[in-house]
Homo-oligomer: A and B are copies of this chain.
Amino acid sequence: MIFAEILAIGSEMLTPFRLDTNSLYLTRTLEERGVAVIAKMIVGDVQDRIIEALDLASRRSNVIICSGGLGPTIDDITKEAAASFLGLPLELRPDVLVTIEERFRRRGLRMPEGNRRQAMIPAGGTVLPNPNGSAPGVYLESKGRQFFLLPGPPFELEAMWEQYGLPLVGKDRPLQRLVLRVAMLPESKVDEMLGPVTGRLRATGYTILASPGEIEIHFLAPEDSAQELASAAEETRKLLGHHVYAEGAQTLEEVVGRMLRESGKKIAVAESCTGGLLGSRITDVPGSSTYFERGVVAYSNRAKVELLSVPEETIRRSGAVSEPVARAMAEGIRRLARVDVGIAITGIAGPDGGTAEKPVGTVFVGLAVEGNETVVERFSFPGGRNRIKFFSSQAALNMLRLRMLKGD
């Protein structure tokens, strides 16, 4: 087994505002080669901290990847720290200097003196060209360990790594990851439904990752046991049935979009508490203009009457957040937009506006499909305003998906 670890270097990475997202990208590429990331570390631009991290990492891992600290300023000391740790001098590499100077000249600029530092490379190091920036990367081998020094900006790191870094990393038994996605089911319910086979699934690297309104079920196994992976996924699909909405990286709006496109149906939405979020998610999908006709955000009662023909009497009698209003909104938008499907959301996103009978989180979703009876579901969502908005849009998309699965 090849072990790797990832070291993010940069004082801004220790503020309350920045996370080391490069490590997610690096982990994914390593996983595909069968290399396991066993630790990640994040330190500032401080020589002792960098050396301590390199020391710990190289005692247990074969591949050590550093990101950040290759810039032209005196704060950037990753190469100095790595050279010092490995007992190597830094050398000016004329070929690298020429490349950097050339980069500036092409933009009609003189290279600032500080950028000379970027041409200093630990002795014996291989230069990794930077297709998207001036900082070259460095590859070093020492005592059977592979060290990679990569730039911090993701745009630069990813291009350099893919082209020049990753191919140098040894291959083990490559791993394959298979992901099933489930919408609007709590984690405990998924656990319960999969209970009978959980033991068997664990052998295929089964993990559940839960986020609000969405569960991912991951399987991870060596590529040569693809058969076991497929049958574990098959078994899971059988137990969870229509709750599984996709395999792989698709979003719920992409899945719903594909179903709409394939069926040739057009849709329009009427939103209240979600304020446009449902429309925004539907139109996040490229090509959505072929099936999304319009949306209406009827935030005020007047807008519900004027834009959706919801009878004033219905609002007065049942309240704007109610089954009859959700029904009238869904039917209204479908009729007025002259489309096949109308979806409506009305609810209380809070923090104010809740009552004993309809507390914050109460949401009605209406679904009007041509030639079918309109359906309204009532939900009670936990959490704050933004979470309730997201849950509501998720519930609406999932209702539509389930309805279309039935062939309506």
Are A21 and B19 neighbours in the complex by a CB distance under 8 Å? yes
Contact code string A376-389 (vs B, CB < 8 Å = 1, else 0): 00000000011001
Contact code string A250-288 (vs B, CB < 8 Å = 1, else 0): 000000000000000000010101111111101110111
Contacting B at CB under 8 A, from A184-232, are 207, 209, 216, 218
Task: Kindly report which residue of chain B lies nearest to residue A31, judged by CB atoms.
Answer: B16
Please report the C-alpha to C-alpha distance between residue A38 and residue B47 in the assembled complex, in whole angstroms: 12
Cβ of A39 within 8 Å of any chain B Cβ, yes or no, is yes
Cβ contacts under 8 Å, A294 to chain B: 296-300, 302-303, 307
Are A209 and B18 neighbours in the complex by a CB distance under 8 Å? yes
Contacting B at CB under 8 A, from A294-324, are 294-300, 302-303, 306-307
Are B286 and A351 neighbours in the complex by a CB distance under 8 Å? yes
Are A17 and B12 neighbours in the complex by a CB distance under 8 Å? no
Are A60 and B52 neighbours in the complex by a CB distance under 8 Å? yes
Please report the C-alpha to C-alpha distance between residue A38 and residue B337 in the assembled complex, in whole angstroms: 58
Cβ of A352 within 8 Å of any chain B Cβ, yes or no, is yes
Please report the C-alpha to C-alpha distance between residue A289 and residue B297 in the assembled complex, in whole angstroms: 12
Cβ of A128 within 8 Å of any chain B Cβ, yes or no, is no
Are B289 and A299 neighbours in the complex by a CB distance under 8 Å? yes
Are B286 and A292 neighbours in the complex by a CB distance under 8 Å? no
The dominant DSSP class at the A interface is mixed
Are A15 and B27 neighbours in the complex by a CB distance under 8 Å? yes
Are A283 and B299 neighbours in the complex by a CB distance under 8 Å? yes
Cβ of A152 within 8 Å of any chain B Cβ, yes or no, is no
Cβ of A293 within 8 Å of any chain B Cβ, yes or no, is yes
Q: Contact check: which of B18, B289, B299, B306 meets A300 at CB < 8 Å? A: B289
Contacting B at CB under 8 A, from A1-30, are 12-21, 23-25, 27-28
Cβ of A37 within 8 Å of any chain B Cβ, yes or no, is yes
Please report the C-alpha to C-alpha distance between residue A31 and residue B14 in the assembled complex, in whole angstroms: 11
Are B40 and A42 neighbours in the complex by a CB distance under 8 Å? yes
Q: Contact check: which of B23, B276, B293, B300 meets A276 at CB < 8 Å? A: B276
Q: Contact check: which of B19, B43, B44, B297 meets A297 at CB < 8 Å? A: B297
The answer to whether A297 and B279 touch (CB under 8 A), given A16-B31, A207-B12, is yes
Please report the C-alpha to C-alpha distance between residue A307 and residue B303 in the assembled complex, in whole angstroms: 12
Task: Kindly report which residue of chain B lies nearest to residue A287, judged by CB atoms.
Answer: B352
Can you list 20 A-B pairs with a CB-CB distance of less than 8 A? Answer: A14-B27, A14-B39, A19-B19, A39-B43, A39-B53, A271-B279, A274-B280, A274-B283, A275-B288, A276-B278, A276-B283, A277-B280, A279-B297, A283-B299, A283-B349, A286-B351, A286-B352, A289-B299, A294-B302, A306-B336
